[in-house]
Amino acid sequence: MTSVTDVSPARPAFRLTRALQGLERLIVPVLLIAGWEAFARSGMLPPALLPAPSAVLHALGDWVFGFDETTQTYSGHWLRDALASALRVFGGFALASLLGILAGVAIGWSRLFEKTLEPTLQMLRPIPPVSWIPLAIIWFGIADKPAIFLVFLGAFFPVLMNSIHGVKTVDHNLVRAGAMMGANSRQMLTDIVLPAALPSIFAGLRIAVGSAWMLTVTAEMVAVKSGLGYVLWDSYYFLRYDIVLAAMISIGLLGYLSDLGLKAIMARTLRWQQTTTVQGRAG
């Protein structure tokens, strides 16, 4: 049996290992930023066309905290813009997740749904979500609804396809074992098929949340007058590329945090599945 005195000496080594793993994740971003700063300061392009990371960081800081109003009307309004975008992202993502999982499980589980529902959805799937923008504006006007509709379209199909794949690829031995134990159809669906399909469903959700952020920016460029995408597009018209890049960085960070949140939920839900890479133990 392992005692407390046996475990304590290993803690500093474990913390050092975790710290080194954290530093590994910073190597590529630091090299990219350093290269960008050096190229921007080389004078090969005018600073107005390619702002240095330090200038972008200054614009982002004023956008967030409003310390010198160099970002003009956006100074100190980052939180308002980020919340407006997040509302559209998670509104469309939640709707797409609910309907995508329900439709995907139904198609993967029932031959009737596969024959009647899947052909129509597969015909709609190749249509780019941005091509729906004119109809979305006509149907919903210039407000949050068309943006949420476009986010829904971008997030729905990744969830749908991964849910179908997850249900259809469930180990048949598990289904046979459930039938031998006397499980009825509902019990096999809820107790065997759905848990076994969860890894694929979560993979679809992670793809979908990234698509949701991408479609939110597209929608805010044309269908609404607020949010990070609107600030990005409006700054482009005024040649404020430092704000454009600050908006891009904001979207990337929020998308990354959204994915981290999903990974945390996935880790708690799929306790039996280790998050590992092929070569390493920790992913």
pLDDT, tens digit, 9 for 90 and up, residues 187-217:
888 888 999 999 999 999 999 999 999 888 8
Task: Tell me what pLDDT residue 283 has.
Answer: 44
The larger pLDDT score, comparing residue 67 to residue 264, is at 264
79-99 average pLDDT score = 94
Confidence of residue 152 (pLDDT cuts 50, 70, 90): very high
Q: Minimal CA–CA distance to 53: which of 255, 246, 239? A: 246
pLDDT at 43 over 90: no
Residue 62: inside a domain:
no
Residue 67: inside a domain:
no
Residue 23: inside a domain:
no
Q: φ and ψ at 51, to 5 degrees?
A: -65, 145
Please give the tally of structural domains in the chain: 1
Confidence of residue 167 (pLDDT cuts 50, 70, 90): very high
Residue 20: inside a domain:
no
Confidence of residue 2 (pLDDT cuts 50, 70, 90): very low
Residue 148: inside a domain:
yes
As a whole-number percent, the residues of the chain with pLDDT over 90 amount to 49
Residues 82 and 235: their CA atoms lie apart, in Å, by 16
pLDDT, tens digit, 9 for 90 and up, residues 91-137:
999 999 999 999 999 999 999 999 999 899 999 999 998 899 888 88
Residue 227: inside a domain:
yes
Helices 78-109 and 194-222 sit at what angle, rounded to 10 degrees? 140
Q: What is the CA radius of gyration of the chain?
A: 24
Task: Tell me what pLDDT residue 278 has.
Answer: 62
* CATH (domain of 215): 1.10.3720.10
Tokens coding 162: 């991964």
Residue 281: inside a domain:
no
Q: What is the DSSP string of 144-209?
A: HHHHHHHHHHHHHHHHHHHHHHHHHTS-HHHHHHHHHTT--HHHIIIIIIHHHHHHHHHHHHHHHH
Structural domain boundaries enclosing 209: 72-270
Task: Tell me what pLDDT residue 136 has.
Answer: 86
Task: Tell me what pLDDT residue 8 has.
Answer: 53
> pTM surpassing 0.85?
no
Task: Tell me what pLDDT residue 277 has.
Answer: 63
As a whole-number percent, the residues of the chain with pLDDT over 70 amount to 90
